[in-house]
A = this chain, B = another copy of it.
Amino acid sequence: MNKERPLILVVNDDGFTAPGIRTLIRLMKTLGEVIVVAPDSPQSGMGHAITLNSMLHAERVHVNQGELIEYTCSGTPVDCVKLAMNKLVPRKPDLCVSGINHGSNASINVLYSGTMAAALEGAIEGIPSIGFSLLDYSPDADFSQSEDYVLKIAEQVLANPMPKGTCLNVNIPKVKKEDLKGVRVCRQANGNWDEEFDERVNPLGKTYYWLTGKFVNYDQGTDTDIWALDNNYISVVPVMFDVTAHRAIQELKSLNYG
């Protein structure tokens, strides 16, 4: 192993066979030594979940007879990062990349996203980290149009220190390469899901529900990730793990809590 090359930890939440992570692995191999630790099954929507009440397995796997160091892990995306850091990486990675997710992690989705939680966990561990997502839920999604940008963003993160306590949330619009207008650094749009639970009855007569819904953007700003994506830009949002509402502290101090 060439000591000069950066070590890149690749994770995701769609599981180790997803086309998105296969694309990301191929791209990252051009930038450094790659180690993959990915869930052995889909873990979409797992947010920052960790496995406390069960054990974890990790298996070395050989995909396409490749020489790449790849592990599948029975846990969540965040478990993958924690287990990688504690047991699997030969040294501290220079970069942690997560994805490429099949589906948007813009706006409020950042909170539900296993992809972004894994990137944020990388940042908590002190590694420059990026989560990549393509706005296409299809397992046959075409990741090729944005490959140059994914590489360029990863190179920039390797070359420049990340703002303290942050990682990057990168979302890519589902458009042809020639329609991509470039990259916008922006803020998380104020939007959320208008849930609709699909209510059904099972053969035994018992009611059950499927979570569905529609994303609603309440934000008119042109400096948001949703605006950027709607206008054919790749959005880059710096995300932090200090979730304190600092500006609210003074206001709350005036209240009498007894």
Contacts and interface: CB of A to CB of B under 8 A. Distances in A.
A208 B243 contact: no
Interface residues of A, number: 82
Interface string A162-182: 010110100000000000001
B53 A149 contact: no
Contact of A148 (B44, B78, B83, B258): B258
Given A45-B51, A47-B49, A197-B83, A192 B124 contact: yes
Contact of A241 (B49, B111, B124): B111
Contacts of A82: 195, 197, 211
B244 A239 contact: yes
B87 A251 contact: no
Contacts of A200: 55
Contacts of A190: 165, 242
Say how many copies of this protein the assembly contains.
2
Contacts of A192: 124-125
B243 A110 contact: yes
B249 A186 contact: yes
A7 interface: no
Nearest to A234: B257
B211 A241 contact: no
A245 interface: yes
Contacts of A48: 47-49, 111-112, 117
A236 B252 contact: yes
B188 A243 contact: yes
A85 interface: yes
Nearest to A256: B156
Interface in A25-60: 42, 44-53, 55-58
Contacts of A124: 108, 111, 192
Interface of A: 42, 44-53, 55-58, 76, 78-79, 82-83, 85-87, 108, 110-112, 117, 120, 124-125, 148-149, 152-153, 156, 160, 163, 165-166, 168, 182-183, 185-188, 190, 192, 195-197, 199-200, 206-211, 234, 236-249, 251-253, 255-258
